[in-house]
Amino acid sequence: GSILRNLIHVMYENEQLTLTNHELVELFTEDLGSHFDKATDEIDTITTILSTPLKLKQICRNRIRKRLCSSKIGGLNRQTLEHSSLSPPLKQSLRHFILP
């Protein structure tokens, strides 16, 4: 809440807010901090939700890459992917997804 209080103070000093002392006291007793914290928490939640698909994609990519690079006995590896008989579009999308 201190950021919000400072903001209001600066606006008041710059005469962007024209409130009497009585009105300012009322404004500050409305527990502005909790409103500000709630908004910040919501922003954090939205940010987490938006970044989750990216994290999941990265985890999947890393797992696939690890399997490709560690599989040496007849399985898929980087060379198999690069010189395979997969159709070019599929091969390209796979390479784009798996290779760095």
Q: Which of left, alpha, beta for 74 (phi over 0: left; psi -120 to 50: alpha)?
A: left
Query: For the residues of 33-60, what is the DSSP string, one character each?
Result: HHHHHHHHHHHHHHHHHHHHHHHHHHHH
**69-78 pLDDT per residue, tens:** 766 544 555 5
Which range marks the domain in which residue 64 is found?
31-98
How many domains would you assign to the chain? 1
Task: Identify which has the larger pLDDT, 22 or 81.
Answer: 22
- Domain-located, residue 8: no
**25: number of Cβ within 10 Å:** 10
The two three-digit tokens of residue 3, written as one number: 């950021």
Task: Flag whether 5 is in a domain.
Answer: no
* Domain assignment of residue 6, yes or no: no
For the entire predicted model, the pTM comes to: 0.24
Chain segment 10-66, per-residue pLDDT in tens: 777 777 766 666 666 666 666 666 666 666 777 777 777 677 777 777 777 778 777
What six digits make up the tokens of 17?
Answer: 């807010």
